[in-house]
Amino acid sequence: MKISTSDRAQVLTQALPYIKQYAGKTVVIKYGGNAMISNGLKSAVMEDIVLLSTVGIRVVLVHGGGPEINEVLAKLGKQPKFIGGLRYTDEETMEVVQMVLAGKVNKELVQRLEQQGGRAIGLCGLDGGMIKAVKMEGEHDLGLVGDITSVDVTLIRNSLDNGTVPVIATIAAGENDDRVYNINADIAASQIASALCAEKLVLMTDVRGLLRDKDDEDTLISVVNVSEVPSLKKKGIIKGGMIPKIDCCVEAVRRGVKRTHIIDGRIEHSILIEMLTDEGIGTMFL
Amino acid sequence: MKISTSDRAQVLTQALPYIKQYAGKTVVIKYGGNAMISNGLKSAVMEDIVLLSTVGIRVVLVHGGGPEINEVLAKLGKQPKFIGGLRYTDEETMEVVQMVLAGKVNKELVQRLEQQGGRAIGLCGLDGGMIKAVKMEGEHDLGLVGDITSVDVTLIRNSLDNGTVPVIATIAAGENDDRVYNINADIAASQIASALCAEKLVLMTDVRGLLRDKDDEDTLISVVNVSEVPSLKKKGIIKGGMIPKIDCCVEAVRRGVKRTHIIDGRIEHSILIEMLTDEGIGTMFL
Amino acid sequence: MKISTSDRAQVLTQALPYIKQYAGKTVVIKYGGNAMISNGLKSAVMEDIVLLSTVGIRVVLVHGGGPEINEVLAKLGKQPKFIGGLRYTDEETMEVVQMVLAGKVNKELVQRLEQQGGRAIGLCGLDGGMIKAVKMEGEHDLGLVGDITSVDVTLIRNSLDNGTVPVIATIAAGENDDRVYNINADIAASQIASALCAEKLVLMTDVRGLLRDKDDEDTLISVVNVSEVPSLKKKGIIKGGMIPKIDCCVEAVRRGVKRTHIIDGRIEHSILIEMLTDEGIGTMFL
Amino acid sequence: MKISTSDRAQVLTQALPYIKQYAGKTVVIKYGGNAMISNGLKSAVMEDIVLLSTVGIRVVLVHGGGPEINEVLAKLGKQPKFIGGLRYTDEETMEVVQMVLAGKVNKELVQRLEQQGGRAIGLCGLDGGMIKAVKMEGEHDLGLVGDITSVDVTLIRNSLDNGTVPVIATIAAGENDDRVYNINADIAASQIASALCAEKLVLMTDVRGLLRDKDDEDTLISVVNVSEVPSLKKKGIIKGGMIPKIDCCVEAVRRGVKRTHIIDGRIEHSILIEMLTDEGIGTMFL
Amino acid sequence: MKISTSDRAQVLTQALPYIKQYAGKTVVIKYGGNAMISNGLKSAVMEDIVLLSTVGIRVVLVHGGGPEINEVLAKLGKQPKFIGGLRYTDEETMEVVQMVLAGKVNKELVQRLEQQGGRAIGLCGLDGGMIKAVKMEGEHDLGLVGDITSVDVTLIRNSLDNGTVPVIATIAAGENDDRVYNINADIAASQIASALCAEKLVLMTDVRGLLRDKDDEDTLISVVNVSEVPSLKKKGIIKGGMIPKIDCCVEAVRRGVKRTHIIDGRIEHSILIEMLTDEGIGTMFL
Amino acid sequence: MKISTSDRAQVLTQALPYIKQYAGKTVVIKYGGNAMISNGLKSAVMEDIVLLSTVGIRVVLVHGGGPEINEVLAKLGKQPKFIGGLRYTDEETMEVVQMVLAGKVNKELVQRLEQQGGRAIGLCGLDGGMIKAVKMEGEHDLGLVGDITSVDVTLIRNSLDNGTVPVIATIAAGENDDRVYNINADIAASQIASALCAEKLVLMTDVRGLLRDKDDEDTLISVVNVSEVPSLKKKGIIKGGMIPKIDCCVEAVRRGVKRTHIIDGRIEHSILIEMLTDEGIGTMFL
The CA distance from F183 to the nearest CA of chain D, in Å, is 33
Cβ-Cβ contacts under 8 Å, D155 against chain A: 121, 162, 164
Alpha carbon distances (Å) from E224 to A233, D199, E28, E220, E275: 96, 54, 19, 11, 17
Q: What pLDDT score was predicted for residue F231?
A: 95
CB atoms C51 and E13 under 8 Å? yes
What CA–CA distance (Å, rounded) separates B252 from B269? 24
| Closest CA relative to residue C123, chosen from B161, B167, B177, B72 | B167
Domain spanning F24-285, CATH class: alpha beta
Beta bridge partners of E89: E143
Cβ-contact E117, E43 below 8 angstroms = no
What CA–CA distance (Å, rounded) separates E31 from E65? 9
Q: What pLDDT score was predicted for residue C164?
A: 96
Give the chain A residue whose CA is nearest to the CA of B271: A9
B223 contact A CB<8A? no
D155 contact A CB<8A? yes
Chains C and B touch (3+ CB pairs under 8 A): yes
What CA–CA distance (Å, rounded) separates A258 from A22? 12
Q: A177-210 burial, b if ≥16 CB within 10 A, otherwise e?
A: eebbbbbbbbbbbbbbbbbbebbbbbbbbebbbb
Read off the pLDDT of residues E237-267 as tens digits, 9 standing for 90 and up.
999 889 999 999 999 999 999 999 999 999 9
What CA–CA distance (Å, rounded) separates E241 from E239? 6
Q: What pLDDT score was predicted for residue F280?
A: 76
Alpha carbon distances (Å) from F68 to E99, E178, E252, E272, F108: 12, 19, 40, 42, 12
What long-range pairs does D264-267 form, CB within 8 A, spacing at least 24?
D264/D204, D264/D205, D264/D206, D264/D207, D264/D208, D264/D209, D265/D31, D265/D32, D265/D33, D265/D34, D265/D35, D265/D36, D265/D41, D265/D45, D265/D204, D265/D205, D265/D206, D266/D33, D266/D34, D266/D35, D266/D41, D266/D206, D267/F5
User: Which of F1, F10, F11, F45 to substitute to test the interface with D, most D CBs within 10 Å?
Assistant: F11
For the CA atoms of E94, E97, E98, E99, the dihedral, rounded to the nearest 10 degrees, stands at: 120
Q: What pLDDT score was predicted for residue A13?
A: 87
Read off the pLDDT of residues B12-61 as tens digits, 9 standing for 90 and up.
888 888 988 898 999 999 998 888 888 889 999 999 999 999 888 999 99
Contacts of A281 (CB under 8 A, 6+ apart): A209, A261, A263, A264, A267, A270, A273, A274
Average of per-residue pLDDT across B265-273: 91
Phi and psi at residue D86, to the nearest 5°: -110, 145
CB atoms D55 and F16 under 8 Å? yes
Cβ-contact A25, B25 below 8 angstroms = no
What CA–CA distance (Å, rounded) separates F160 from F61? 11
What CA–CA distance (Å, rounded) separates E74 from D189? 72
CB atoms A107 and D115 under 8 Å? no
Alpha carbon distances (Å) from E225 to E211, E246, E258, E285: 15, 12, 12, 6
C neighbour chains, 3+ CB pairs within 8 Å: B, E
| pLDDT band, very low/low/confident/very high, at A186 (cuts 50, 70, 90) | very high
What CA–CA distance (Å, rounded) separates B267 from E5? 65
Per the prediction, chain B carries an average pLDDT of 92
What CA–CA distance (Å, rounded) separates D89 from D97? 9
Q: What is the 3-state secondary structure (H, E, C) of D138-182?
A: CCCCCECEEEEEEECCHHHHHHHHCCCEEEEECEEEECCCCCEEE
ipTM computed for the complex: 0.92
Chains B and A touch (3+ CB pairs under 8 A): yes
The CA distance from A281 to the nearest CA of chain B, in Å, is 10
Average of per-residue pLDDT across A76-100: 89
Contacts of A180 (CB under 8 A, 6+ apart): A94, A98, A126, A144, A171, A172, A173, A174, D107, D111
> Chain centroid to CA C11: how far?
27
User: Which of F10, F19, F275, F278 to substitute to test the interface with D, most D CBs within 10 Å?
Assistant: F19
What CA–CA distance (Å, rounded) separates F51 from F59? 10
Q: Which of B132-146, B180-194, C30-44 has the highest mean pLDDT?
A: B180-194
Q: What pLDDT score was predicted for residue E84?
A: 75
Cβ-Cβ contacts under 8 Å, A99 against chain D: 72, 99-100, 103-104
Q: How many other C-beta atoms lie within 10 A of the C-beta of residue C74?
A: 11
What CA–CA distance (Å, rounded) separates A106 from A286? 30
Using the Cα atoms of residue D259, residue D264, residue D265 and residue D268 in order, give the sign of their dihedral. Answer: negative
Q: Check pLDDT > 60 for residue A122.
A: yes
CB atoms B111 and C178 under 8 Å? yes
> Chain centroid to CA A230: how far?
23
What CA–CA distance (Å, rounded) separates C183 from E248? 63
| pLDDT band, very low/low/confident/very high, at F37 (cuts 50, 70, 90) | confident
Residue B233 burial class via C-beta count within 10 angstroms: exposed 0-12, middle 13-18, buried 19 and up? middle
Q: What pLDDT score was predicted for residue C41?
A: 92
Average of per-residue pLDDT across E166-170: 98
Q: What pLDDT score was predicted for residue C37?
A: 87
Per the prediction, chain A carries an average pLDDT of 92
Q: Check pLDDT > 70 for residue E1.
A: no
Q: What pLDDT score was predicted for residue B187?
A: 96
Average of per-residue pLDDT across C192-204: 97
Q: Which of B111, B114, B128 sits opposite C121 (nearest CB)?
A: B128
What CA–CA distance (Å, rounded) separates E84 from E138? 11
CA angle F177, F181, F184 (to 5 degrees): 145
Cβ-Cβ contacts under 8 Å, E154 against chain F: 162
Q: What pLDDT score was predicted for residue C108?
A: 96
| pLDDT band, very low/low/confident/very high, at A128 (cuts 50, 70, 90) | very high
Chains F and C touch (3+ CB pairs under 8 A): no
What CA–CA distance (Å, rounded) separates F150 from C131? 49
Give the chain C residue whose CA is nearest to the CA of B129: C114
Read off the pLDDT of residues B227-260 as tens digits, 9 standing for 90 and up.
999 999 999 999 988 999 999 999 999 999 999 9
| pLDDT band, very low/low/confident/very high, at F82 (cuts 50, 70, 90) | confident
**Which amino acid is residue B24, in one-letter code?**
G
Average of per-residue pLDDT across E165-186: 96
Q: What pLDDT score was predicted for residue F138?
A: 84
Contacts of C4 (CB under 8 A, 6+ apart): none
Q: What pLDDT score was predicted for residue B157?
A: 97
Phi and psi at residue B199, to the nearest 5°: -75, -35
What CA–CA distance (Å, rounded) separates B26 from B196? 8
Read off the pLDDT of residues C1-55 as tens digits, 9 standing for 90 and up.
478 888 888 888 888 889 888 989 999 999 988 888 888 899 999 999 999 998 8
D277 contact F CB<8A? yes
Top-confidence residue, A139 or E170: E170
What CA–CA distance (Å, rounded) separates E187 from E193? 10
Q: Check pLDDT > 90 for residue B133.
A: yes
Q: What pLDDT score was predicted for residue E106?
A: 97
DSSP labels for F177-205? SS-EEE--HHHHHHHHHHHTT-SEEEEEE
Cβ-contact B145, B181 below 8 angstroms = yes
| pLDDT band, very low/low/confident/very high, at B286 (cuts 50, 70, 90) | very high
CB atoms E129 and F119 under 8 Å? yes
Q: Check pLDDT > 70 for residue F211.
A: yes
Cβ-contact F112, E112 below 8 angstroms = no
CB atoms B114 and C128 under 8 Å? yes
Low-confidence ranges of chain D (pLDDT < 70): 1
Read off the pLDDT of residues C229-262 as tens digits, 9 standing for 90 and up.
999 999 999 998 899 999 999 999 999 999 999 9
